[in-house]
Amino acid sequence: MTTRPLQPPKGMWVIPVDVPPSEFVKEEVSELVRKVITKLGPINKLEVTVANIAGEWQGEKSSPDLGSSLLSEQQQFDRLTNDAMSEAVILYFHGGAYVVASPDVLRPTTRRLARDCGGRVFSVRYRLAPQQPFPAALIDAVMAYKYLIDPPAGAMHSPIDPGKIVFAGDSAGVQSL
């Protein structure tokens, strides 16, 4: 179920997305995260749980908001893509010490980033501690990247060239990179 975001600022596209991983993707991401974490030390009792991730496609609108709320999410995404002047996609991880915040809080920042690069932002709503302890946020970061470069059937977007993805974040979000 897609989480409805807070009301976005005028002049900004915000399209919520839920990404349910296939069993293959769950295994692939789990194995990759385990390899990365093993470099930090033993992981005998560490639980690596791959789950649905949520996020938002965000960007600057080139036209007034009139009627945008009547469009389907796919139509909004198509308009967001048409409004973008470049193929760049910023994969954004919000701060909040892995325990608070969400993409909603950083919309003024992500809107500026989208405007300044002329592209789109995919802002991840990663799982937060203490309800979802380490490595949940790391897993969600990997899942978000995988979603961009290898979208599942039915995704709004086509695969994004990894060379066109820019990683960005603030505070704890920088650590997710």
Per-residue pLDDT of 92-132, as tens digits, reads: 999 999 899 999 999 999 999 999 999 999 999 999 999 99
- The kind and range of the H/E element at 16 are strand 12-19
> 119 by DSSP, 3-state: which?
coil
| Averaged pLDDT, 6-31 | 90
pLDDT for 65 equals 63
Domain boundaries, the chain: 12-175
pTM (two decimals): 0.89
Give the closest residue to 176 by CA, choosing from 132, 134, 146: 134
Q: Check whether 154 has a pLDDT greater than 50.
A: yes
Q: Residue 132 has what pLDDT? A: 94
In angstroms, rounded to a whole number, what is the distance separating the alpha carbons of residues 29 and 137? 13
DSSP 8-state class, residue 67:
T
Asked which of 7-11, 18-22, 76-80, 128-132 is least confident by mean pLDDT, the reply is: 7-11
User: Per-residue pLDDT tens for 46-66?
Assistant: 888 999 999 999 999 887 666
Whether the pLDDT of residue 174 is over 90: the answer is no
Running DSSP on this structure, what letter comes out for residue 48?
-
Provide the pLDDT for residue 1: 45
pLDDT band per the 50, 70, 90 thresholds, residue 177: low
From the number of C-beta atoms within 10 Å of its C-beta (0-12, 13-18, 19+), residue 80 rates as buried
Average pLDDT value for residue range 13-40 = 92
pLDDT of res. 42 = 79
